[in-house]
Amino acid sequence: MVVTRQRGWRVHTEAGGIRMGYDMEGNGTPLVLLHGFPLNRAMWRVQVAGLRDRFTVIAPDFRGFGDSEIPRNPMSMDAYAQDVLALLDALGCPRFALGGLSMGGYVAFRVMALAPHRVCALLIADSRAEPDTEEGRQRRRAAIARIENEGPAGYLEDFAGQLVGPTTRSQRPGVVQAILEIIGTPPARSLTTALSAMASRPDSRPLLGDVNVPALVIVGEEDTLTPPEAAEAMAAVLPDARLVRIPAAGHMSNLEAPEAFTRAVREFLTAEFPTAG
Ligand code: MLT
């Protein structure tokens, strides 16, 4: 059975009942894909289409993004992770392969911290385990001030341009437009809440050595936000990890080089779960 574009499932988290948007499509081992900031689950469309014949791909919207309810209170990476776990409980999904890109990776690490027994494989793309530097926090504070003063539009346009690498910018300018379309018009509060949660996220490096499931680390070779060195550092400490570097792609490697990205995930998961589907 292929279940398509479920929306508006009501789940209950420790923070109270919230509406969460998600897609769930396909058959086989569940694969949960967590989106980057300031996007939403729509960024995974190509991966959902390319993996659903072998995996049940579940892509949630974080609170405040896509079809999920706007946060009323401050959030943390753990709170986003609890929302994801609550959704998976509501979907009857006890164990799953877990992937996240950038902010999705930060949240994936917190899922690993909260419920390591539920994760059977880990995929971290264009992300990092270390917390923000003081300079990084200052940039977040400036972004929050800009959004509060001017509204989100100018910030989103500038930020979308930074998400892709120089090759995409010069050779595939339509990708930035596509990213802006996926981003849409998230409410200012969703953006500022997520920025402040990312600024105060914990150091996930202490978790890495204890990850006892196979891991795939993917990075765009032209990623400047979470550069290849950050990916190499994670892959070196994760006990069972392989690293895939995607040429001519920046921070949004799954959208800049969708075929290469999907192929890497497919090869990794098919090797780990040869009987899936
Ligand atoms: C993302 O892509 O999720 C963000 O760029 C992450 C970040 O700003 O640290």
Q: Is 4 a domain residue?
A: no
Atom of ligand 1 nearest to the CA of 128: 9
Q: Is 2 a domain residue?
A: no
Within the chain, residue ranges assigned H as helices are: 45-51, 77-90, 103-114, 134-150, 152-163, 166-171, 174-183, 188-199, 205-208, 228-237, 253-256, 258-272
- Domain housing 112: 9-272
For the Cβ of 252 lying below 6 angstroms from any atom of ligand 1, the answer is no
Nearest to 175 by CA among 220, 113, 127, 238: 220
For the Cβ of 36 lying below 6 angstroms from any atom of ligand 1, the answer is yes
pLDDT tens-place string over residues 15-69: 668 899 999 999 999 999 999 999 999 999 999 999 999 999 999 999 999 999 9
Measured in angstroms, how far is the CA atom of residue 34 from the centroid of ligand 1?
12
Q: Is 153 a domain residue?
A: yes
What pLDDT does residue 11 have?
A: 72
CATH of the domain at 103: 3.40.50.1820
Q: Model-level pTM?
A: 0.95
pLDDT tens-place string over residues 174-188: 999 999 999 999 999
Measured in angstroms, how far is the CA atom of residue 2 from the centroid of ligand 1?
31
Q: Is 277 a domain residue?
A: no
For the Cβ of 123 lying below 6 angstroms from any atom of ligand 1, the answer is no
What pLDDT does residue 17 have?
A: 83
Q: Which residues pair with 26 in a beta bridge?
A: 56
d(CA 44, CA 46): 6
Residue of the CA atom closest to atom 4 of ligand 1: 37
Instruction: Provide the number of structural domains found in the chain.
Output: 1
Atom of ligand 1 nearest to the CA of 195: 8
**How would you class 93 by CB atoms within 10 Å of its CB: exposed for 0-12, middle for 13-18, buried for 19 or more?**
middle
Q: What value does the mean pLDDT of the chain take?
A: 94
Nearest to 235 by CA among 117, 129, 132: 129
Average pLDDT of the segment spanning 234-238:
98
Q: Is 232 a domain residue?
A: yes
For the Cβ of 198 lying below 6 angstroms from any atom of ligand 1, the answer is yes
Q: Which mutation among 34, 35, 37, 77 tests ligand 1's pocket best, with the greatest number of atoms within 8 A of CB?
A: 37
Measured in angstroms, how far is the CA atom of residue 103 from the centroid of ligand 1?
5
d(CA 56, CA 211): 23
d(CA 245, CA 260): 10
Q: Is 3 a domain residue?
A: no
